[in-house]
Amino acid sequence: MGTVSRRQFIQAGVGTALAGHCIFGDGFAAGGRKPNIIFILADDLGYGDLGCYGQSKFSTPNIDRLAKEGILFRQHYSGSTVCAPSRCSLMTGLHMGHAYVRGNAAEGAGIPLRPDDLTVAEALQKAGYKTGLYGKWGLGVEGTLGHPNRQGFDEFFGYLNQQHAHAYYTDHLFRNETKVTLEKGQYSHDLIMEEALGFVRRNRANPFFLYLAVTIPHASMEVPEDSIAPFRGKYDETPFAPGQHYSAQPTPNAAFAGMVTRLDQGVGRLLKLLEEIAVDQDTIVFFSSDNGPHKEGGRSPEYFKSSGPLKGIKRDLYEGGIRVPLLARWPGKIKAGTVSEHASAFWDFLPTACDIAGTTKPKRLDGISMMPTLSGARQPTHDYLYWEFYEKGFQQAVREGKWKAVKLAPGKPSELYDLENDISESRNIADAHPDVVKRLDGIMRRARTESEHWKS
């Protein structure tokens, strides 16, 4: 698959010719119906935590099916290395230099999106889609203008506050703006899955956008016994130590495998439902994760090789913190078994969704549509990808082609890696390429706008 830079692509005058109907020919689906769009977002699932990305200690057959029957991206990146800013990037099509939410401020209550922060849900709602969010939001709690019902979602069920989402056995969730009291012992993930499946059933006759932002396998290693039991005694375990975050779990590795397996089973139920209600051919399903794997709750990302061949985990700007799985399946439209090396990121989803829906893309986005890659056509590439992070002081990273620069503190020399030859970022070659470092440092300066909430 040939690639050109985004700048060359636009200058060639062909960028707008690859949207919507032009790529897929005779309409979107049978009868010309606009396609349904489902985006499943796992929470803290690492690049190596799926069978199709190399996981061997447990299996994920239903998620792997998305790769077998669709496309697997090897070089896809999250919006950030923690949840709220990553989700902001996914929803608004902006990287961390321009996004309004750039960190997990205020321990989950956070900084809400504003009315002028256009989301993918708003864009699709205006295109005639029914929009539903089920799971974790993190971009505006009750009473704020960042609430999902004020950001383009017709329906919402789940967690507003990301800190609240640490608790799988919570006493309440939210349905739209109403607090829903839960019975003791109800597992929130199961409730979220049931609500999401109900949304799909109710909207079989209209085009819909389902954002299924599950909380598995984030934070607490909590899952019902029927999911842990097959893995008890199978793994080495480091028991939960006093003082660690979240709930005690004597077998966190077994619980982690059980959680991902339960998520995989839910994906299987969703795919089966699409077939049962005869919208399978009319639906594109994406699957990704909000950032790299975590160590919380006593589980070991090293034991599972959750980052695959990559360096780092959640809260790192090395590849293991920001390179994430991305799968997409659309029967009859995406060639089964495709593997893409196109370097893409969360901020590409909004323009991609607009192209799928055949609606006008907002202006001033950092993202570029991945529709050409999905269809096997010529794909424009990013001039660069950019991130910044605040929980360890101000850190930055930029990728340009094969080059990746990481700056761990203002005034500190940037590290430089050749990802084409060193995917694990094991050799800092900044001293050998001062010209490249200078160029990437310049991108770091130009890529960001100042923010009242996020200071450099």
Q: What is the pLDDT along the chain (456 residues), one digit of tens a residue?
A: 344 454 443 333 333 333 333 344 333 444 478 999 999 999 999 999 999 999 999 999 999 999 999 999 999 999 999 999 999 999 999 999 999 999 997 555 679 999 999 999 999 999 999 999 999 999 999 999 999 999 999 999 999 999 999 999 999 999 999 999 999 999 999 999 999 999 999 999 999 999 999 999 998 899 999 999 999 999 998 765 555 555 678 899 999 999 999 999 999 999 999 999 999 999 999 999 999 999 888 888 999 999 999 999 999 999 999 999 999 999 999 999 999 999 999 999 999 999 999 999 999 999 999 999 999 999 999 999 999 999 999 999 999 999 999 999 999 999 999 999 999 999 999 999 999 999 999 999 999 999 999 988
pLDDT at 17: 33
pLDDT at 219: 87
Q: Which of 340, 355, 384 is the last residue of a domain?
A: 384
Q: How many domains in the chain?
A: 2
pLDDT at 32: 74
On whether both 405 and 377 belong to a single domain, the answer is no
On whether both 323 and 443 belong to a single domain, the answer is no
Cβ(405)–Cβ(437) below 8 Å: yes
Cβ(327)–Cβ(71) below 8 Å: yes
Predicted model pTM: 0.94
On whether both 76 and 103 belong to a single domain, the answer is yes
CATH of the domain at 431: 3.30.1120.10
pLDDT at 33: 84
Q: Which of 335, 352, 384 is the last residue of a domain?
A: 384
Cβ(150)–Cβ(140) below 8 Å: yes
How far is CA 304 from its chain centroid? Answer: 20
Cβ(72)–Cβ(60) below 8 Å: no
Structural domain boundaries enclosing 434: 393-449
Angle at 324 between CA 96 and CA 438, to 5 degrees: 50
Angle at 280 between CA 51 and CA 262, to 5 degrees: 35
Q: Is residue 166 part of a domain?
A: yes
Which segments within 188-322 are labelled E, that is strand? 208-213, 283-289
On whether both 231 and 256 belong to a single domain, the answer is yes
Q: Is residue 327 part of a domain?
A: yes
pLDDT at 248: 72
On whether both 254 and 111 belong to a single domain, the answer is yes
Q: Which of 355, 384, 413 is the last residue of a domain?
A: 384
CATH of the domain at 276: 3.40.720.10
pLDDT at 54: 98
Cα–Cα separations (whole angstroms), residue 136 to 140, 165, 215:
11, 7, 6
On whether both 305 and 340 belong to a single domain, the answer is yes
What's the token pair of residue 297?
A: 């709750």
Cα–Cα separations (whole angstroms), residue 417 to 80, 213, 281, 412:
19, 32, 42, 16
On whether both 341 and 432 belong to a single domain, the answer is no
